[in-house]
Amino acid sequence: AAGVIQSPRHLIKEKRETATLKCYPIPRHDTVYWYQQGPGQDPQFLISFYEKMQSDKGSIPDRFSAQQFSDYHSELNMSSLELGDSALYFCASSRRQGGGTDTQYFGPGTRLTVL
Amino acid sequence: DQQVKQNSPSLSVQEGRISILNCDYTNSMFDYFLWYKKYPAEGPTFLISISSIKDKNEDGRFTVFLNKSAKHLSLHIVPSQPGDSAVYFCAASGSNSGYALNFGKGTSLLVTP
């Protein structure tokens, strides 16, 4: 079965640079979530999109922005990178339409290292 | 504040025995609970879930129990296999708070032969 695709898998940037992470949800999934996992930490929710509209916002810094496109893929844009932004960034997708429960399936993650 | 808590950072179990992983939550608005299995440098893999209208859900070797009054859930794996060795995250979400997952800090399970 198709899974969530994230690219790139690894990214190395310098401080104050920008980075763009991409997420391709499972086909027919309409919702995308972004999470950040620091070393030894649990994943922290950043932001989500349902049907291309922002659905919910978590602990996402103002330096970050995201959007979901017409083909349902999503991009997380990160500017003025700081050392503390070094983390694993996960994208998850779900099919929320139709109600009921919302099971999120995660991609393999992008490991961002800021030097 | 940590709304989902996994108080055991690690657990070691012999192959063939039962593994019991525990999770507590504080937010009574959570109505959907999930368990994920995670290997280093990989994304969390969905294992099993339970809605707040149920108290038990079973899928093969995995069973999740929910005690709403105690705000407690547990994952039972029986029989445990060496391939089950991984970090297990408990997560909870609420339909009235955007479905964002709130994770526990994880329990590292080691199943020894």
* Residues A28, A104: Cα–Cα separation, whole Å: 13
Closest CA to A56 of A92, A25, A8: A92
Can you tell me the distance from the alpha carbon of A98 to that of A77, in angstroms, rounded to the nearest whole number?
Answer: 30
Tell me the pLDDT tens digit for each residue of A78-108. Answer: 999 999 999 999 999 998 866 666 899 999 9
Do B46 and A106 make contact, defined as CB atoms within 8 angstroms? Answer: yes
CA distances from B68 to A60, A87, B28, B59, B74 (A): 31, 34, 8, 20, 12
DSSP letter for A83, please.
G
Is the minimum CB–CB distance between A89 and chain B shorter than 8 Å? Answer: no
* pLDDT at residue B97, rounded to an integer: 73
3-state SS, one letter per residue, for chain B: CCCEECCCCEEEEECCCCEEEEEEECCCCCCEEEEEEECCCCCCEEEEEEECCCCEEEECCEEEEEECCCCEEEEEECCCCHHHCEEEEEEEECHHHCCCCEECCCEEEEEEC
Cβ proximity of A30 and A96 under 8 Å? yes
Given a contact cutoff of 8 angstroms between Cβ atoms, the answer to whether A25 and A103 are in contact is no
Q: Which of A48, A56, A106 sits opposite B44 (nearest CB)?
A: A106
pLDDT over 80 at A1, yes or no: no
Cis peptide leading into residue B79 (ω within 30°): yes
The pLDDT of residue A99: 62
Q: Which residues of B fall within a CB distance of 8 Å from A24?
A: none
**Can you tell me the distance from the alpha carbon of A53 to that of A13, in angstroms, rounded to the nearest whole number?**
29
Q: What is the average per-residue pLDDT within A5-11? A: 97
Q: CB-based contact (8 Å) between A25 and chain B?
A: no
A85 CB burial (10 A radius; 0-12, 13-18, 19+): buried
Percent of chain A with pLDDT over 90: 84
**CA closest to A91 among chain B residues:** B43
Residues 6+ apart with CB under 8 A from B68: B52, B55
Question: Is residue B41 pLDDT above 90, yes or no?
Answer: no
Per-residue pLDDT at B60 exceeds 70: yes
The answer to whether A55 contacts B89, with C-beta atoms less than 8 Å apart, is no
Burial class (CB in 10 A: 0-12, 13-18, 19+), B42: middle
